[in-house]
Structure 1
C-alpha cells in the first residue's frame, strides 16, 4: 500500500476506528442475561424462542384431520399431484401443504375452511367447496378417476399454485399403507 494515493490516506481513519471498536467495544457484554430473555442494552439477533420445525412425513387422513387449525394449531391440506402426462394415476402422491400462513382463507372461519385437515383434490378440481366434495376420513382415499381432463388440469393448477405459495410438509397416504410402513 502506498501512501501517495489520496484514497489510501482517506481509508486509514475508518480502519483505525473499526479496529479500536473491536478491541474496546462501547458496551461490554452483559453476563447476567438469562437465555431467552431480552436485555435492552445488548443487541441480539437470536429470537427468544425457536420457531416450530416442520418435518416432512407421511400423513393418514385421520392424522391430517387433526391439523385443521381449530384451536389455533397448524393448518394442513392435501392435493393430488398430477402426472407429467396430465392424467391421474393411483400411484401418484397427494402432497400435504402447511397453509397456516393463509389462516384467514383456510382457518375454521375462512371461506376454504372445509378443506383444512382434508384431501382437497376433488373440491379444487371441481371448483366446489361443498361438503360432499370431501372424502370422509374413515374411508379410502378418493381415486379421482371420474374427473374430466379440464378438472384434472384445474387440480394441477391448484397444486402448482400451492407449491409456489405454501410449504410442502409431507404426503397423504392410505391408512393401511401407513400401518404397513410402521410394521403393524
Structure 2
C-alpha cells in the first residue's frame, strides 16, 4: 500500500501495530479531547487576588558615605546594605547570610571590598567608618578580578541602591 508517497508494508503484525499507533497518536494531536473540569482546584476555593498582601519597600538610589552606610546593618530587622568597589547593594533578601548572625554579617553596613577580594571574613579586612574609603591599591590582579566577580554576582542577585563615596564628599 502507498500512503502520502510512502510505501507501507502492513504484511507484518508489528508494522500493522506501529501504523495503528501512529494514526491514533496523530488523531489525538489533531483532535484533542475537550472535557470540562468537574471540580474547582483547591488553591482557588477561597478566591484569588492578584494584589500582593503588601507592597515591597521602595528602594531609592542614594549616595552613601561609610558613616551613612553603617546604620544599615540589619539590626532590629532593618535593611541590610553593603558596598563592594563603590557600589552599594541592598542585600536584605539575603538576611540569613548578611544579617547580624549570618556568615557575612560583619560586611553589613560596611565597605566589603577588601574582604570580598581576599575571600576573608576577618574584621581587620574592614576599613573603620571614620577612615577614608579603602583605595584597594595594594590588591593583586587576581584579588581585583575576584572582587569584580563578586560585584557581577551581586549585580545579578541584589538591588543596586547607591554609590559609596568619601565621608567628606557629601
Larger radius of gyration: 2
Distance in structure 2 (CA, Å) of the matches to 1:75 and 1:132: 20
Deviation at 1:50, TM superposition (A): 2.5
Distance in structure 2 (CA, Å) of the matches to 1:169 and 1:104: 20
Match of 2:57 in 1: 52
Aligned 1:1-184 pairs, distance under 5 A: 44-80=49-85, 94-178=86-170
Q: Helix, strand or coil for the counterpart of 1:153?
A: helix
Gaps of 5+ in 1: 1-40, 81-93, 179-184
Distance in structure 2 (CA, Å) of the matches to 1:95 and 1:177: 15
Distance in structure 2 (CA, Å) of the matches to 1:118 and 1:42: 45
Gaps of 5+ in 2: 1-45
Deviation at 1:42, TM superposition (A): 7.6
Q: Helix, strand or coil for the counterpart of 1:101?
A: helix
Distance in structure 2 (CA, Å) of the matches to 1:168 and 1:175: 20
Deviation at 1:175, TM superposition (A): 1.5
Deviation at 1:48, TM superposition (A): 4.4
The TM-score with structure 2 as length reference comes to 0.70
The TM-score with structure 1 as length reference comes to 0.65
1:43–1:158 Cα change, 3 Å? closer
Deviation at 1:126, TM superposition (A): 0.6
Distance in structure 1 (CA, Å) of the matches to 2:148 and 2:52: 38
